[in-house]
A and B are shown apart, each in its own frame.
Chain A
Amino acid sequence: ETGVTQSPTHLIKTRGQQVTLRCSSQSGHNTVSWYQQALGQGPQFIFQYYREEENGRGNFPPRFSGLQFPNYSSELNVNALELDDSALYLCASSLPGMIMNTEAFFGQGTRLTVV
C-alpha cells in the first residue's frame, strides 16, 4: 500500500470531450508527477508539480494541463480528447531533493478509454 490514490479507476469519454483525473499523494510528499502509459508501452512523462507549480514537462501538447493544490493533491486535465489519448494514466508522488523521483510511489492508475 503506497498511499497514492487515484480516481476514478476507469473512465470512458467521447472524442472531443474534456476529462479531469485526480491524485492524492502520499503523506509528506510535495512533488507529483503524471505519466501516460499506452497499451504495451512504458510510461511516458507528462509533467511534474512541486509546491503548486509545474517544474518539468514531457513532449505533450498544451491540451494536457495540471494543477497541484495546497494539500499536494493534483489534477490532470485533458481537453479535446483524441482516440490516441486512451491509456493508463499514472500519478507518482515523491519528496523533492537533489535527486528527484528517487523514491517515487505510484498510484494504481486511471484507465481512460476514448471512443
Chain B
Amino acid sequence: AQSVTQLDSQVPVFEEAPVELRCNYSSSVSVYLFWYVQYPNQGLQLLLKYLSGSTLVKGINGFEAEFNKSQTSFHLRKPSVHISDTAEYFCAVFYEGAQKLVFGQGTRLTINP
C-alpha cells in the first residue's frame, strides 16, 4: 500500500534558525516527490518537486529537499527561517503504478521571534 509519513506533526523553531521537516514514504519502483505549503484558509502551493536527476532539489522561498532512495526519504530543509514561513507543510508522493498522489498528514511549522 502507498503511504507517506511525516514524522513530526509540529515543529517550533526560532527565527533565523535552520529547520528540517522529515518525510518518509513506502517504497515503490517509480515515484515522484513533492512538498506543498498551506497557509491558513488557503489551498496548497507547490514548494518543490523531484522527478529525476539530481537528488538535491531547490524550491521557492529558499527551501530545498534531498531525495534519498535507499532511505525512502525526502526531507525538506531551510538554512534560516522567517516569520512568514509559519504554515502547514505537506509531503506528497505520486505513485506512478497506482496513478495516485498520496499526501502525508502535514507538519505545522511555527516560527518564534
Contacts and interface: CB of A to CB of B under 8 A. Distances in A.
Interface of A: 2, 4, 33, 35, 40-45, 48, 55-56, 58, 90, 92, 99-109
A56 B99 contact: yes
B101 interface: yes
Contact of B44 (A40, A44, A45, A106): A106
Given A42-B103, A45-B100, A56-B100, A102 B45 contact: no
Interface in B44-88: 44-46, 49, 51
Contact of A99 (B96, B105, B106): B96
Given A106-B43, A107-B43, A109-B43, A101 B103 contact: no
B25 interface: no
B13 interface: no
Nearest to A98: B96
A45 B96 CA distance: 14
Instruction: Give the bracket for the number of chain B residues in contact with chain A.
Output: 20 to 34
Given A56-B100, A90-B44, 16 more contacts: A40-B106, A42-B4, A42-B92, A56-B99, A92-B44, A99-B51, A99-B94, A100-B94, A101-B101, A102-B49, A104-B46, A106-B36, A107-B43, A108-B41, A108-B42, A108-B43
Interface in B90-113: 90, 92, 94, 96, 99-106
Given A41-B106, A42-B104, A42-B105, A100 B99 contact: yes
A100 B31 CA distance: 11
Given A99-B96, A100-B99, A43 B46 contact: no
Contacts of A44: 103
A33 B101 CA distance: 10
A43 B32 CA distance: 17
Nearest to B36: A106
Given A2-B43, A4-B43, A109-B43, A101 B94 contact: yes
